[in-house]
Amino acid sequence: MKTIKGPAIFLGQFIGSAEPFNTLPGLARWASELGYKGVQLPSWADYIFDVDKAAKSKDYCDEIKGILKKNNLEITEISSHRIGQLVAVHPAYDDLFDGFADDSVKGDPNARQEWAVNKMMNVAKASKNLGLFAAGTFSGSLAWPYIYPFPQRPAGLVEEAFDELAKRWTPILNEFENNGIDLCYEMHPGEDLHDGVTFEMFLERVNNYPRCNMLYDPSHYVLQHLNYLDHIDIYHEKIKMFHVKDAELNPTGKQGMYGGFQSWINRAGRFRSLGDGQVDFKSIFSKLSGYGFDGWAVLEWECCIKSSEQGAAEGALFINNHIIDVTTKTFDDFADSGMDKETNKKLLGL
């Protein structure tokens, strides 16, 4: 068994135009004062962290690490979710996802995809230069519009989508392999990889690539009514990252998991701050610790009621209180009789 590292916080949702949220030194000081020991860096806010520069310059990486070290913080991983999403975009979402792309490639899906692939390559290089071991991302989606179709999907449609998804991601996985970094897909509704079955479909198509792994976030499983504890038992060898995020699903006679096109506050399924939802974090931390997960427990704040600052302040203590300092001995060691092999044979009548 190993002890999970933390608490850590994903900075993406806290970046803003006002101090201390508009610079990395400000964010680092704020996170440290709240009790966090690690930060997960976004790859899409260059004025906070420039992933392209980090891919080319170890001096820049040392500068970033120095800013964090000054505040007693470590980098946990790079998050590339918005970039990974652009590796595979269904045409129905072209206009929406142009907002995630550089201005130079907006309105040109092929150029946007090429830009995203190059950016993902830089995430791998930057992760190596920073001395990291994993990075988180989304798979993107080609088949998602057909998740619950009428009329029915044509035969072979999903298979074709996953073949293409694997084709697009294999060169990226190769780059992560070259740099010694695990690429962890967050199982997320809206992405083609959104549960265990879809992950296995993709994994098979990339020939069980060892660098193809999971980011575990139980909140998305609550909203799918998926057993998130069994999921750890099944996939613990593939879980290399951990987002600590809470959620609740309260279906009524009017709506269920699809939410009736309502705002977050009015949905049956919604994200909550840590401790305010339904996730059994005691069991999660116990299972992950028992299976030897020694990555970071990273707060991802998303809540439709509580402010981000209150969620962050409470989150550090919540995570810290759930991290298990794993035992190095068996509780009944004191009763060891000290017998040897010959004595054991005698006791068994052998």
Domain boundaries defined on the chain: 5-347
Report the pLDDT value the prediction gives residue 324, as an integer from 0 to 100.
97
**Predicted pLDDT of residue 348:** 87
- Give the pLDDT score at 337: 64
Q: Which pLDDT tens digit goes with each residue over 259-318? A: 999 999 999 999 999 999 999 999 999 999 999 999 999 999 999 999 999 999 999 999
| Whole-structure pTM value | 0.95
Three-state secondary structure readout of the chain: CCCCEEEEEECHHHCCCCCCCCCHHHHHHHHHHHCCCEEEEECCCCCCCCHHHHHHCHHHHHHHHHHHHCCCCEEEEEECHHHHHCCCECHHHHHHHHHHCCHHHCCCHHHHHHHHHHHHHHHHHHHHHCCCCEEEECCCECCHHHCCCCCCCCCCHHHHHHHHHHHHHHHHHHHHHHCCCEEEEECCCCCCCCCHHHHHHHHHHCCCCCCEEEEECHHHHHHHCCCHHHHHHHHCCCEEEEEECEEEECCCCCCCCCHHHCCHHHCCEEEECCCCCCCCHHHHHHHHHHCCCCCEEEECCCCCCCCHHHHHHHHHHHHHHHCCCCCCCCCCHHHCCCCCHHHHHHHCCC
pLDDT at residue 342, as a whole number: 87
CATH topology of domain 5-347: TIM Barrel (3.20.20)
pLDDT of amino acid 345 = 87
pLDDT at 340 (0 to 100): 82
Which parts of the chain sit beneath pLDDT 70?
Answer: 330-337
